Structure 1
Amino acid sequence: MIELRRVGPEEFAVSLDAVLDVYTAAMLPPADQLTGRRAIMRGHASYSRFTCLFAERADGRTVGFAYGFHGEPGQWWHGVVRQAITEHDGQARTREWLDDAFELAEVHVHPDYQGKGVGRAMVTGLCAGRLERTAVLSTRDQETAARHLYRSLGFGDLLTGFVFPGGQERYAILGTPLPLAQYV
């Protein structure tokens, strides 16, 4: 049985080895990217209203994690996406989606536990009780299980075919109004 446990920024930071093990199994990144990913995740834990859920087995092993925070100017993802949505759809749409947004930065489940409701439980658990008007995230712009999950929770496309600066892979930027209650 998998249990969800909320952790704060300090516990998250000291648990980065377990977090990166799940991330590596789920995403299969090149090994040379893990040091940078660790630094990014550690930095995210310092953001305003950071919240994280660990999905754990009965023995305490972490098999999934998800976290997010309040999006604000000065955060890299927030700034890049704000500019892209503004260029594509204008200031009004950007303000609608990003001026009061909960940014779901990472949602990952070890492959052995995917397709069992762990990701859904983490996303709905993170979004429950949030005071922001919207939730936003980025995911690979492909028909993946993650994309299907987000759609089933009410997330819709804000941008597709988006390439982050310095990257090559295409992403979709998704958003949904909060609360998610109607999708749970």
Structure 2
Amino acid sequence: MIELRRVGPDEFIAALDTVLAIYTAAMRPPSDQLSGRLGIMRNHATYPDFVCVLAEDPEIIGFAYGFHGMPGQWWHDIVARSLTDQSGPLAADEWFGDALEIAEIHVLPGHQCKGIGRRLIHTICDGRPERTAVLSTHDAPTVARRLYRSIGFTDLMTGFAFPGGRESYAIAGTKLPLAPGS
């Protein structure tokens, strides 16, 4: 039975080698990006109201983490500014003015498509005080994108490219709390 366990920043940082290995197996990034990703993850653990959920069987096979988004955070500033430019300041404030920013959700490939990702998202969002939850995902018809839509995430922007990046992303959001059974 897969158990989900909430952990704080210290335990997340202690598990970073395992977390990065899961990220690598799920995303297959170029190896030259891994040290930078490790630094980003370590930095995220210092953000306000950081939350992480580990999926264990009994070893860690998946994780999700996020935090309260706010001005001064790189992803928040880039995405909120772009949504302001596209849809206006009211739309940007509606989605990013009080948001749980879900930074990462990954499950080892051999455990994917078994409901673990859905459970991770529901658990990380459960009891959060924010109005919305937001995330970015590849702008393609992936299993992850279908999962987010089935939970209630809607596209806020598509075809989005982060500065210096070449990949196309969708920025998605949903109102909190999540609908039961989604």
Query: TM-score, length-normalised on structure 2?
Result: 0.98
Which amino acid counterpart does residue 166 of structure 1 have in structure 2?
Answer: G
The one-letter code matched in structure 1 to 2:47 is Y
Please provide the CA RMSD for this pair: 0.7
In 2, are the aligned partners of 1:154 and 1:183 still within 8 Å (CA)?
A: no
3-state SS of the aligned residue for 2:180?
A: helix
Unpaired stretches in structure 2, ≥5 consecutive residues: none
Aligned to 2:19: 19
**Which residue of structure 2 aligns with residue 76 of structure 1?**
74
In 1, Cα distance between equivalents of 2:51 and 2:179:
19
Equivalent position amino acid for 1:147 in 2: R
1:124 corresponds to: 122
Alignment correspondent of 1:29: 29
For residues 156 and 82 of structure 1, the distance between their equivalents in structure 2, rounded to whole angstroms, comes to 16
Deviation at 1:5, TM superposition (A): 0.9
TM-score by length of 1: 0.97
Q: Which residue matches 1:158?
A: 156
Deviation of the 1:53 alpha carbon: 0.4
Distance 1:14 1:109 in 2: 18
CA distance, structure 1, for counterparts of residue 150 and residue 35 of structure 2:
33
Letter in 2 for 1:20: L
Q: Deviations over 1:3-61 (max 9, x none)?
A: 11111100101111000110000000011100000000000000000000010113xx1
Aligned to 2:4: 4
Structure 1 residue matching 2:172: 3-state secondary structure: strand
SS at match of 1:181: coil
Whole-angstrom CA distance in 2 between matches of 1:38 and 1:182: 34
Residues 68 and 102 in structure 1, CA contact (< 8 A), matched pair in contact too:
yes
CA contact (8 A) 1:55 1:122 kept: yes
Q: What residue in structure 1 maps to residue 96 of structure 2?
A: 98
Query: What is the rounded CA distance, in whole Å, between the counterparts of 2:139 and 2:158 in structure 1?
Result: 6
Distance 2:67 2:113 in 1: 25
Summarize deviations over 1:78-106 as a string: whole Å, max 9, x none. Answer: 00001100110010100110000000000
The offset of 1:183, in angstroms, is 4.1
Q: What amino acid sits opposite 2:164 in the alignment?
A: G
Which amino acid in 2 is paired with 1:37? R
Match of 1:64 among 58, 62, 76: 62
User: What's 1:115 paired with?
Assistant: 113
Unaligned runs of 5+ in 1: none
Displacement of 1:2: 1.1
Report % sequence identity. 60
SS in structure 1 at match of 2:11: helix
Q: Secondary structure at the match of 1:48?
A: coil
The answer on whether the counterparts of 1:152 and 1:183 sit within 8 Å (CA) in structure 2 is no
Please tell me the residue identity of whatever aligns with 1:158. Answer: L
